[in-house]
Amino acid sequence: MNWLLPRLLVAVVAMAAGAAVGWLVGHSFDTPGWGMLTGAAIAIVTVATIDTLRGVRIIAWLQGAQDEDAPRDPGFWGELAYRVERALRQRESATAAEQARLAQFRDAMEASPNGVLMLSAAEQIDWCNSVAAAHFGLDPLRDRHQPVTNLVRAPAFVAYLQAGVFREPVSFESRGATISVLARSYGDGMRLVLSQDVTERERADSMRRDFVANVSHEIRTPLTVLAGFIETMGTLPLTEVERRRVLTLMGEQTLRMQRLVTDLLTLAQLEGSPRPASDRWLPLAPLLRQVEADARSLSAGRHRIALAGASDLQIAGAETELHSALSNLANNAVRYTPTDGRIDIAWRVLADGSGEFSVKDTGPGIEREHLPRLTERFYRVDGSRSRETGGTGLGLSIVKHVVQRHGGELDIQSEPGRGSTFRLVFPAVRLRSVATAQRGRESRDVVEAAETARAEPR
Ligand code: ADP
């Protein structure tokens, strides 16, 4: 609507009315001309005052918080107040929507598994999520607007930011973890820094590298020996005795590689297969007797071997795995204990219902510092003894894997000169007595019989 004409009209009508009234009043005093002028002036001043008052109310409302509605005046001022208020409210709701979007965006960045750190052009912290705060040791609120390099002083990180070449990520140590950082420039010199905790990945990588190096080393020695013998046989005329001797030695090296490959395959299978079922029960006594028999045959009468506590229990798990774990411990005792030593294989149920398999020997014992590393692959305390007796350095890692897959633990007690005791503790849920099993079977039979009877036609 065009407000000019109505506004002029109001002014003109007011002036005319004022002039008319002034003319009438002035007539009584014989000054109709002055009366007209005064009347018109009073009318204009009145219109201007009312306008000013309405304008002042709107300015007062604009100067406030605009929480209340704008003044609702009729006409021009009412329209003006309404339009200003509408524009303001629209802007307010647009800002609220923007803020909600920003909050949503920050929530998304907060939910990111990676650290997100936003830096200003002056490398001050604008914002970071809690993952980045943990990676860099920052306080998201307190450290806002602080120069990041004052707080994160790792030389690799500082140099990376300063170089400003962000093609590759950079890693550095922070608070006992390895953090990998990748930066990107955006906006007007601002930087987005993404961080990731790669401690586990680095550890796995280094383990894999060590493992490959170890396997290659273990295979290279027998292979070199074999290659040497093959060359000898091909180039030198050997007597029958020498030929036999060479073939025996070649056989030994082949066996060594076979053992290694078997153990490697066992480990790979243990790592790649699901946990053994907890409802496949097998009797413990024959398993223990088999372990004892294996040890005796390996010892060939050189040791005193005893088995105690053969029980009527059943254990839930994978028979081949359990046999391999228990035998490994008993065989190690035989291999590392000198002739005439004593080896005690025992089974007992502990107070909390868990079951303990132990192998105690009177062998050389092991220094304390080696104990935590014994289950590492290829870790050997006595390398030559291990190899002489056909060891691959993988036995105890297999044992540890097997017992953990069955929910149990491996414990090693040993002191140099005082022998060693290797214990496997299996949880109570994986053990049951034969009597319980019998009762379970009987009740199952009863249920089955009842169900069959019900199903039979009468
Ligand atoms: P290996 O095939 O070399 O025996 P294991 O993983 O079975 O590999 O054992 C790791 C190392 O632990 C062995 O090399 C040996 O030095 C030490 N060890 C294992 N069992 C005994 C034991 N009963 N007495 C002394 N040392 C042992």
Count Cβ atoms within 10 A of the Cβ of residue 412 and give its class: 0-12 exposed, 13-18 middle, 19 or more buried. middle
Picking from 263, 236, 232, the residue whose alpha carbon sits closest to that of residue 327 is 263
Which residue lies with its CA nearest to atom 7 of ligand 1?
A: 395
Pocket test residue of 362, 394, 396 for ligand 1, highest count of atoms within 8 A of CB: 396
Which residue lies with its CA nearest to atom 16 of ligand 1?
A: 381
The pTM assigned to this predicted structure is: 0.69
Secondary structure of the chain as H, E, C letters = CCCHHHHHHHHHHHHHHHHHHHHHHHHHCCCHHHHHHHHHHHHHHHHHHHHHHHHHHHHHHHHCCCCCCCCCCCHHHHHHHHHHHHHHHHHHHHHHHHHHHHHHHHHHHHHCCCEEEEECCCCEEEEECHHHHHHHCCCCCCCCCCEHHHHCCCHHHHHHHHHCCCCCCEEEEECCEEEEEEEEEECCCEEEEEEEECHHHHHHHHHHHHHHHHHHHHHHHHHHHHHHHHHHHHHCCCCHHHHHHHHHHHHHHHHHHHHHHHHHHHHHHHHHCCCCCCCCEEEHHHHHHHHHHHHHHHHCCCCEEEEECCCCEEEECCHHHHHHHHHHHHHHHHHHCCCCCEEEEEEEECCCCCEEEEEEECCCCCCHHHHHHCCCCCCCCCHHHHHHCCCCCCHHHHHHHHHHHCCCEEEEEECCCCCEEEEEEECHHHEEEHHHHHHHHHHHHHHHHHHHHHHCCC
Q: What digits encode the pLDDT tens for the residues 32-62?
A: 899 999 999 999 999 999 999 999 999 999 9
Q: Indicate whether residue 341 lines ligand 1 (CB < 6 A).
A: no
- Using the atom order of ligand 1, give the atom closest to the CA of residue 387: 3
Q: Indicate whether residue 329 lines ligand 1 (CB < 6 A).
A: no
pLDDT for res 439:
67
Which residue lies with its CA nearest to atom 24 of ligand 1?
A: 336
Q: Indicate whether residue 398 lines ligand 1 (CB < 6 A).
A: no
Which residue lies with its CA nearest to atom 4 of ligand 1?
A: 391
Which residues have CB under 8 Å from 186's CB, separation 6+? 192
pLDDT for res 458:
45
- Using the atom order of ligand 1, give the atom closest to the CA of residue 361: 23
Q: Indicate whether residue 263 lines ligand 1 (CB < 6 A).
A: no
Q: Indicate whether residue 327 lines ligand 1 (CB < 6 A).
A: no
Q: How far apart are the first and last CA of the chain?
A: 97
Which residue lies with its CA nearest to atom 11 of ligand 1?
A: 380
CA 250 to ligand 1 center in whole angstroms: 25
CA 265 to ligand 1 center in whole angstroms: 19
Q: How many residues are recorded in the chain?
A: 458
CA 335 to ligand 1 center in whole angstroms: 8
Q: Indicate whether residue 360 lines ligand 1 (CB < 6 A).
A: no
Q: What digits encode the pLDDT tens for the residues 402-446?
A: 999 999 999 999 999 999 999 999 999 999 987 776 666 666 665
Q: Indicate whether residue 380 lines ligand 1 (CB < 6 A).
A: yes
pLDDT for res 143:
96
CA 364 to ligand 1 center in whole angstroms: 11
CA 280 to ligand 1 center in whole angstroms: 30
CA 382 to ligand 1 center in whole angstroms: 7
Which residue lies with its CA nearest to atom 20 of ligand 1?
A: 332
Which residues have CB under 8 Å from 319's CB, separation 6+? 282, 287
CA 386 to ligand 1 center in whole angstroms: 7
The total of other beta-carbon atoms located within 10 Å of residue 445's CB is: 10
Q: Indicate whether residue 393 lines ligand 1 (CB < 6 A).
A: yes
CA 332 to ligand 1 center in whole angstroms: 6
CA 385 to ligand 1 center in whole angstroms: 9
Which segments of the chain have a pLDDT < 50? Answer: 458
Picking from 139, 171, 168, the residue whose alpha carbon sits closest to that of residue 155 is 171
Q: Indicate whether residue 361 lines ligand 1 (CB < 6 A).
A: yes
Match 């109709």 to its residue by tokens: 32
Give, to the nearest 10 degrees, the angle between helix 395-405 and helix 319-336.
140
Pocket test residue of 345, 362, 373, 386 for ligand 1, highest count of atoms within 8 A of CB: 386
Which residue lies with its CA nearest to atom 14 of ligand 1?
A: 380
Count Cβ atoms within 10 A of the Cβ of residue 397 and give its class: 0-12 exposed, 13-18 middle, 19 or more buried. buried
Q: Rg (Cα) of the chain, in Å, rounded?
A: 46
